Chain A
């Protein structure tokens, strides 16, 4: 086909998608490119030094503070993803296979706790885990402990718990959808041909549910690695994550280029891990695309 006719044919589509596309160019692509550019500049007191340099990246990779934060963010996020998806799977499985007429009701019950402010949901964990919190005052009144436990709040575990809670429905729904798509006659055929329940689960149900599990994992992993609120509220210094450092560098430390470099490093790690994850699971996704 001639290029000219292609352009002509494209006009109708472009006219429609043009505005949202240009909006995306201006508010997403340009800002991210600028972020990349900024990460190669340096801050000198109040001025930006616009000579191209890797100084920010060198600083990140030579200071244990930054490396620790990045490693911790990745670890927390991976751990949250694994536990959220693992804990969510049986729930999705039950609703899909045994939900019967109550499927919609059960799904609704799962979403209710998530319809209040995200900030408050995270903050409520602080009330549960805190010094005078629900767990401590409960255990003391039951005489299990004399002094409040201090190791349950302000560390990575508290962050993992709060995040695994906050993202639960986002893991349940994709898995549920993929389980719903499974043709039940396949399972019957497997059973008729002599598969045990366990074998048919691992050979039919699980492989067919993989697209949902993969989607759930990415939906949880990508936002949690850059979460700002949770580590700030329940993480303490021990549970601080990379987003908090980005914010500190950006505002108090007044080092926007370093913040930009940190953001770019985190973004690269997110993209890299997601791609590796998709690569290893490509056989499950082939039929979908």
Chain B
């Protein structure tokens, strides 16, 4: 069987080449000593990074984005806990349709979500602000939080909960002292996935943002100016590195979540 895998392996390398083709340009042009994005490369510089550091509107946009991402991921994780818990432990009328509505943003093009929220806000005469973007991002991130936390809650050993109740702890105490610690890795991955979704989301932020742009909306405005492109490349490179750090943390907790929930606490990372 091993020998027929060779063509597939070659294909895999070609495919990876395709996947990496755009991204390898980021470091190349981020450190390239020319204001024009074209080959051949002219020389090495870190100027574009110093430009970035002096760009105050960039930092404002970054601050907005982080604020939005933290708030949105926090709320979507709470929603995720509530939904996952209800789905895992309770029977109630309308269970499937309520769940369906909460998961629906996964199955809708973002532009539809953005436009429809914008229409409501316009009809109500509400001003666009960071909060309107947060609301949109909570909507988008909640289904992801729900799926992550549903796995965490379903893997939870029910007897631990029953033991706690039998030993005299009340429901609230059991939730905070038994259930919550066991699903913590799930909570952290839910927070991180919500954070990354919100941080990178453009279309909804584009529609719902007021005078304060988010980072993607700010990048969008930069893309129109050819002279700004090397700075954008430098920014993209920083974003890539920062995301990889976040991703590694996420992986670490996801694996711990899996091993914790299945009771093999000591197996750690494989």
Interface residue ranges, A against B (CB under 8 Å): 6-7, 9-14, 16-21, 23-25, 27-32, 34-35, 38, 87, 90-91, 93-95, 97-98, 104, 106, 108-113, 115-121, 123-125, 127-128, 132-134, 137-138, 141, 165, 168, 197, 218, 222-223, 225-229, 233, 243, 246-247, 250, 256, 259-260, 263, 266-267, 270, 274
B87 / chain A contacts, CB cutoff of 8 Å: 17
B85, A16: Cβ atoms under 8 Å?
Answer: yes
B110, A223: Cβ atoms under 8 Å?
Answer: yes
Number of interface residues of B (CB under 8 A): 81
The distance in angstroms between the C-alpha atoms of A73 and B251, with both chains bound, is 36
The distance in angstroms between the C-alpha atoms of A6 and B95, with both chains bound, is 12
A256, B21: Cβ atoms under 8 Å?
Answer: no
Q: For A16, A121, A133, A223, which residue has the most chain B Cβ atoms within 10 angstroms?
A: A16
B167 close to chain A: CB less than 8 A: no
Query: Which 9 residue pairs of A and B lie closest in terms of their CB atoms, listed nearest first?
Result: A226-B109, A13-B92, A13-B90, A124-B22, A10-B92, A31-B116, A115-B243, A16-B86, A20-B79
Output the least CB separation between B207 and chain A (Å).
8
B79, A165: Cβ atoms under 8 Å?
Answer: no
Q: B147-160 CB contact bits vs A (8 Å, 1 = yes)? A: 00000000000000
B25 / chain A contacts, CB cutoff of 8 Å: 124, 127-128, 134
The distance in angstroms between the C-alpha atoms of A2 and B9, with both chains bound, is 62
B200, A17: Cβ atoms under 8 Å?
Answer: no
Task: List 5 contacting pairs A-B, 8 Å CB cutoff, sorted by A.
Answer: A21-B102, A90-B12, A115-B243, A127-B22, A228-B206
A263, B116: Cβ atoms under 8 Å?
Answer: yes
B244, A115: Cβ atoms under 8 Å?
Answer: yes
A28, B139: Cβ atoms under 8 Å?
Answer: yes
B112, A91: Cβ atoms under 8 Å?
Answer: no
Given contacts A250-B115, A260-B119, whether A116 and B139 have CB atoms under 8 Å apart is: no
Interface residue ranges, B against A (CB under 8 Å): 2, 4-5, 8-9, 11-12, 15-16, 18-23, 25-26, 29, 36-40, 79, 82-83, 85-87, 90-95, 98-99, 101-102, 104-105, 107-113, 115-120, 122-123, 135-136, 138-139, 142, 200, 202-203, 206, 215-216, 219-220, 223, 232, 235-237, 239-240, 243-244, 247, 251, 270
B11 / chain A contacts, CB cutoff of 8 Å: 90-91, 94
Given contacts A38-B119, A226-B110, whether A21 and B23 have CB atoms under 8 Å apart is: no
A91, B15: Cβ atoms under 8 Å?
Answer: yes
